Structure 1
């Protein structure tokens, strides 16, 4: 089927290119509107306790968005400041859409810093306002607050932080894609030896990204899509499209060199039948990895999984159709490896590549290399033991963001003295003895400083606001939530707030992670088994992917949580990793690791199928031959996708930067250390067991036409040669003592 697809793409090249051009054009015209249709998504399932509690609170006492402002840099009691601030606070109350202003000037609030140099203002907006209306009112409030004559006015809050996040996501995507495409284009021109050859993967990548944006625009009309989803999905699409294009182009050059007189459709038929098989299996493996996100069943990850599935589908189809069609048009401008071109003024020296040399070294010392690489990767993973996972808040914004500065100013001056209360919904009357007993036990919990009851509640519901010094989602507040939930009571109790949401998110992740791992592992193991016919190879691949994952997450903890190298990367750490980062990295790292695993194993399996022996030496030769043949394209793909991820690491959003840096680290470790050293060492140690339970090395593979043997004009004596070569028909015949075996014709891939 794949061979036929390659032939169709070659013969119908103009129709294929026109179809993809239409997709790219529609994506360029309409796809950009996806950013206007994005929305913040919850990272919790609707049935989570904190989500149910918040919905109950919203039904009881609907509240609007809150703006938090910190006025600092001048003594609070200065007479002219008091007069000016008082007047402005009354002006803010008069703004349509503002329902409440809490400040120390006019509302009797005592929210003043210990040094009297800062004060806190909280402005509540009407819950009837739409998002756009609320932002318009927030801008008016912010403008009024900035008129107060103090050195620093910082206005923030969830509403403004979400807008900053969206704006920054668009800016980061534009910067990341621009830098990545420019650098990537230059790298591909150099690696492939010309402008036309280097433009093929870029064309496929642009078509894939444009099609992805168009698909996400349509998806946004059906379900929620966040800015974060758009950034991460376009990043993945760009990398996968380049990877698959490089594999197809490299295999085409190989097929053309092996049979230069073959018709072009036939060459592309063989190319897609071999390399296309690896592309298809790789796409299925990445898609299977993404399917694991559905298990978590929260809106953010579900949107990520849907978007990822779309981009993987587009990248795979582009690799199997668009790239062969482009090759058909530009094949004369695709130089053979080592050819002298305007890029390479001197012909490249022929010889084994970096991965091939690494593999040969690992095969000579398999035990030492396997132990050393495993120990090194486990060492890199040690920081993971100290990971702190939290929901991204305003601190994930750039340090220059006013919303982040307002959050940090509140945290520094007011969080300890004026903590955000934890809402507790108790389904029972205030006069009920069980409710009174519960409230008394809540007041007696360690660290609790106050318990206030909300007024104007229905008679059968009590809403208690429990205060304890600490951050809204800090460890102390999380412990308070756990303590309240652990109280034995006969009345239903629900706890809301940021700390409760974080606890629920962690518990949901822990509960569903084994299921997600099972889905991903079983699906990818099955695909590798179908590709290789081996049960051992999938297990080995999964273990190596796990090592790559552990090392990558360990590096991320050291960089983004501890701050190692943060100055070099241009961000200010906030002491935690985003809760979704390990999940997304697991899926993406696993998928891309399977990418390279499939590229290498598909070729190693072909080489193993050709071997006449069935021993360890034959296995080692097959592994080395497969890595030698595929190593250059894997290296080029790793360089290309590393450029893509590092381009996104230049962005300002820490959550996106975590993904970009994490993927770049994972690709670097996977290609150089795992595929170059650990893979050949492990396969050398396992020997024939690699292919268990396969009994014979035979594997049906598409073969090129048999190379015709020289016509003999006269009888010749049999020779001792059993391998066809240029000298086999000209060497001096030697009469053997026993009949010689007939010469074997090598099977071609």
Structure 2
């Protein structure tokens, strides 16, 4: 079937290219509007206790978005400053959409910094405003606040921070993709030995990315899509498109070198039948890994999975159609395969030969090394990204840091208790007294003016709003005996529920990913042992990668080099996304290598260890340059994340680059050949068939 596809693409190559050009142009013209349709997505699954609590709170005691301004640079008692703040505060109260204004001069809320050089102005917007309406009101409020007669006015708040996050994500995407495409283009031109050959994978990448942006624009009409998701999946598309293009080009050059007199249509048919099968299995493996994200029930991860599945499907389509069509048109401009690989791209073959000479020692050393890199994972702390994920230049972050650093008792997001009982009901006063006496409670404020039958109290935790103390307090509050059902909302409650949800759903996600990828590898190799080994090695790679991330982003190693400030934790979504993407891409290289190793094994009549070693080394030697070049390319692509300023995005970029580096050197170069050498013919065992009688199944 794949060979027939190769012949069809050859015969209709101009039509295939024309279709992709139209798609690319449509994506370039209309796909950019996806950023106008993106939105902030909740990180908790529907029905989580904190979500239920917040929904109930929004009904009985709704609150609007809050803006916080830090007015600094003058003595807070200066007459002209007092007059200026007073005048502006009354102006802001008259702005439609403003619910309340608190400042140190016109209200009882006196918030003065330790040095008496700064004061706070807090503006609450009316509840029920849409995001666009709230932002329009916030802009009017901000413009008014900036007219205060003070040397420094910093304005922030969650609403403005979210907008800055979205704007920064767009800028990071533009810079990251540009850097990635330029660097990958230069790398490919050098490695493939020609301008046309080097630009061909980039043409496929552009086709896949523009098509993905177009598809995400349509998807955003029906499902929520975040800026973060767009960033991640577009760079994933570039990396996969380059991988698949390199594999197809390398196989075409190999087929042409083996049979120079064969018609072009037959060369393409053989290329698509062999390399195309690896592309199809690889794309299916990455998609299967992405499906695992749905198991977490997290709306953000579901959006990421949907976008990722789209980009993988479109990238696989480019690999099977656009790339062969471009090869058919430009085959005369694709240089012949070198008799010897370019220096540096044969690293896998050299590593494999070394591993086969000392398989036991290499396997043990590589495994222990990966486990050692994963040791910091025992000390990992997870949290939800907040304004601290923004760059230092962000005004929202500067406002947050000014509030936290200059004021003795800075305002913080409290835990909010919702009790389904009247405030005067039996036992409720005693209950709130018990809450005040809990360890980790700084203060308790019981709200008034509520509908009958419900009581609400804001509990201010000691320490940070979602730190360890606050998280422990959530558990204690939920466990208290109360005269009526109790709900707890707030940042710490959301983080506790998110961690619990991830831990509870992780086994299901693992089962989906492991079973699906294992089945695909079994279909490719007809072996039970090879898929099990591949999954174990991938898990070792992921553990080592996560350990490096803890050291870099939680502990701050190399923070200055990477241009960020550690905040003591990893974003909770980072390990999940890394697990899926790194697992999928590791299977990418696994499929490339195993498909060729299987071909070499099927050609041999002997089944002894020496024959197995020769098959493994021959397969790695043939495919190693492709995998090495692809790893360099995709490493450059994901390092495009690092040039951006969002810390959560940097985590993904560094994590993927580390995962690819470890996978293509330690795992594919050393651990894979070492373990295959140790097992010999038992690599190809499956129940019911002895290794000596294992059938030779032609690939393609």
TM-score (norm: length of structure 2): 0.97
Q: Structure 2 matches for 1:216-227, cutoff 5 A?
A: 216-227=216-227
Instruction: Tell me by how many angstroms 1:208 deviates.
Output: 0.2
1:255 is displaced (CA, Å) by 0.6
Deviation at 1:700, TM superposition (A): 2.6
Q: CA deviation at 1:568?
A: 1.2
Q: Is 1:608–1:697's contact at 8 Å kept on the other side of the alignment? A: no
The answer for the alignment partner of 1:620 in structure 2 is: 613
Per the alignment, in what secondary structure is the counterpart of residue 433 of structure 1? coil
User: Partners of 2:600 and 2:165 in 1: how far apart?
Assistant: 50
In the superposition, relative to structure 1, how do residues 349 and 147 fare at CA in structure 2: closer, same or farther (>3 Å)?
A: closer
The residue that corresponds to 1:297 in the other structure is 297
**Offset of 1:369 from its aligned partner?**
1.0
Q: Check conservation: 2:376, 2:551, Cα contact below 8 A.
A: yes
- 1-structure distance, mates of 2:126, 2:682: 69
Match of 2:503 among 510, 518, 535: 510
Distance in 1 (CA, whole Å) between partners of 2:64 and 2:345 is 65
Q: CA deviation at 1:467?
A: 2.0
Post-superposition shift, 1:302?
0.7
Q: Which residue of 1 aligns with 2:697?
A: 700
1:139 aligns with 2:136: no
What stretches of structure 2 of length at least 5 have no aligned partner? none
Q: Is the 8 A contact 2:599 2:699 kept in 1?
A: no
Residues 1:157 and 2:157 are matched in the alignment = yes
**Do structure 1's residue 587 and structure 2's residue 580 form an aligned pair?**
yes
CA contact (8 A) 1:380 1:552 kept: yes
- In 2 relative to 1, CA 352–165 (structure 1 residues): closer, same or farther, beyond 3 Å? closer
Work out the CA distance in 1 between the residues paired with 2:576 and 2:527: 28
Find the counterpart in structure 1 of residue 168 from structure 2.
Answer: 168
Q: Distance in 2 between matches of 1:55 and 1:478?
A: 20
Q: Which residue of 2 aligns with 1:127?
A: 127
From the superposition, tell whether residues 620 and 416 of structure 1 become closer, same or farther in structure 2 (CA, over 3 Å): farther
Distance 1:63 1:440 in 2: 25
**Residue 446 of structure 1 is aligned with which of 439, 450, 463?**
439
In 2, are the aligned partners of 1:103 and 1:109 still within 8 Å (CA)?
yes
1:630 alignment counterpart: 623
1:415-454 to structure 2, matched below 5 A, reads 416=409, 418-454=411-447
SS at match of 1:99: strand
Cα drift, residue 481 of structure 1: 1.3
Residue aligning to 2:663: 670
Q: How many residues align?
A: 696
Assess if the C-alpha contact under 8 Å between 2:242 and 2:633 holds in 1. yes
Superposed displacement of residue 350, structure 1: 9.1
Q: Deviations over 1:222-259 (max 9, x none)?
A: 10000001000101111101100100110010011111
Q: How does 1:369-518 map to 2 (within 5 A)?
A: 369-414=362-407, 416=409, 418-518=411-511
Distance 1:568 1:94 in 2: 48
CA contact (8 A) 1:352 1:628 kept: no
Deviations 1:586-611 (A, max 9, x none): 00000000000000001001111111
What residue in structure 2 maps to residue 74 of structure 1?
74
Counterpart contact for 2:346–2:628, Cα < 8 Å = no
Residue 377 of structure 1 contacts residue 547 of structure 1 at CA under 8 Å; is this kept in 2?
Answer: yes
Q: State which drifts further: 590-599 or 85-94.
A: 85-94
Instruction: Give the Cα–Cα distance (whole angstroms) in 1 for the partners of residues 121 and 145 of structure 2.
Output: 9
Q: 2: CA distance between counterparts of 1:183 and 1:469? A: 48
**1:160-180 residue CA offsets vs partner (Å, 9 max, x unmatched):** 001101111111111111111
State the match for 1:606 in structure 2: 599
CA–CA separation in structure 1 for the residues paired with 2:344 and 2:47: 60
Answer whether contact 1:252 1:267 (CA < 8 A) is retained.
yes
Asked if 1:573 corresponds to 2:566, the answer is yes
Deviation at 1:673, TM superposition (A): 1.3
Q: Distance in 2 between matches of 1:97 and 1:197?
A: 58
The 5 A counterparts of 1:182-201 are 182-201=182-201
Whether the 8 Å contact between 2:113 and 2:408 is mirrored in structure 1 is no
**Aligned equivalents of 2:254 and 2:303: distance in 1?**
40
Secondary structure of residue in 2 paired with 1:9? helix
The alignment's TM-score, normalised by the length of structure 1, stands at 0.91
Q: Is the partner of 1:155 in helix, strand or coil? A: strand
Q: Is the 8 A contact 1:23 1:207 kept in 2?
A: yes
Distance 1:527 1:349, change over 3 A: closer
C-alpha distance in 2 between matches for 1:198 and 1:312: 22
Pair 1:236–1:352, CA change in 2 (3 A)? closer
SS in 2 for 1:651: coil
CA deviations on 1:141-189 (whole Å, 9 max, x unpaired) are 2222223333432111111001101111111111111111111111111
Distance 1:351 1:521 in 2: 33
How far apart in 2 are the matches of 1:129 and 1:436? 34
Q: Are the structure 2 counterparts of residues 158 and 418 from structure 1 closer, same or farther at C-alpha, using a change threshold of 3 Å?
A: closer
Give the drift of 1:641.
0.7
8 Å contact 1:287–1:309 — kept in the other structure? yes
Q: How does 1:93-132 map to 2 (within 5 A)?
A: 93-132=93-132
Q: Name which of 611, 633, 637 aligns with 1:640.
A: 633
CA RMSD between the two structures: 1.6
**Is residue 416–residue 471 contact of structure 1 (8 Å, CA) maintained in 2?**
no
C-alpha spacing 1:222/1:352, structure 2 compared with 1 (3 Å): closer
Most deviating of 382-391 and 465-474:
465-474
1:543-573, Cα deviation, whole Å (9 max, x unpaired) = 1101110111111111111111111111222
Shift of 1:84: 2.0
Q: Which moved more, 1:447-456 or 1:296-305?
A: 447-456
Which has more radius of gyration? Answer: 1
User: CA contact under 8 A between 1:67 and 1:123: conserved in structure 2?
Assistant: yes
Alignment match, 1:307: 307
State the match for 1:14 in structure 2. Answer: 14
- Could you tell me whether the CA contact under 8 Å between 1:535 and 1:691 is conserved in 2? yes
Distance across 1 between alignment mates of 2:282 and 2:143: 53
For the residue of structure 2 that corresponds to 1:106, the secondary structure is coil
Q: Distance in 2 between matches of 1:702 and 1:285?
A: 18
Tell me what 1:177 maps to: 177
Contact 1:415 1:471 survives alignment (8 Å): no
**Deviation, structure 1 residue 351:** 11
1:46 is matched with: 46
- TM superposition shift of 1:648: 2.1
Work out the CA distance in 1 between the residues paired with 2:412 and 2:266. 72
Distance 1:25 1:352 in 2: 35
Tell me how far 1:5 sits from its aligned partner: 0.8
Deviation at 1:79, TM superposition (A): 2.8
Distance 1:173 1:165 in 2: 12
Whole-angstrom CA distance in 1 between matches of 2:407 and 2:343: 67
The separation in 1 between residues aligned to 2:294 and 2:208, in whole angstroms, is 23
CA contact (8 A) 1:610 1:698 kept: no
SS in 2 for 1:119: strand
Shift of 1:326: 0.6
Cα distance in 2 for partners of 1:651, 1:699 equals 49
Task: Give SS of 2:481's match.
Answer: coil
CA contact (8 A) 1:50 1:497 kept: yes
Mapped to 1, the partners of 2:77 and 2:430 lie a distance apart of 43
Contact 2:420 2:454 in 1 (8 A): yes
The answer to whether 1:521 aligns with 2:514 is: yes
**Alpha carbons of 1:510 and 1:348: their partners in 2 closer, same or farther (altered >3 Å)?**
closer
Question: Is there any run of 5+ residues in structure 1 with no aligned partner, and where?
Answer: 340-346, 704-749
The separation in 1 between residues aligned to 2:243 and 2:699, in whole angstroms, is: 22
Aligned-pair CA distance for 1:113 = 2.4
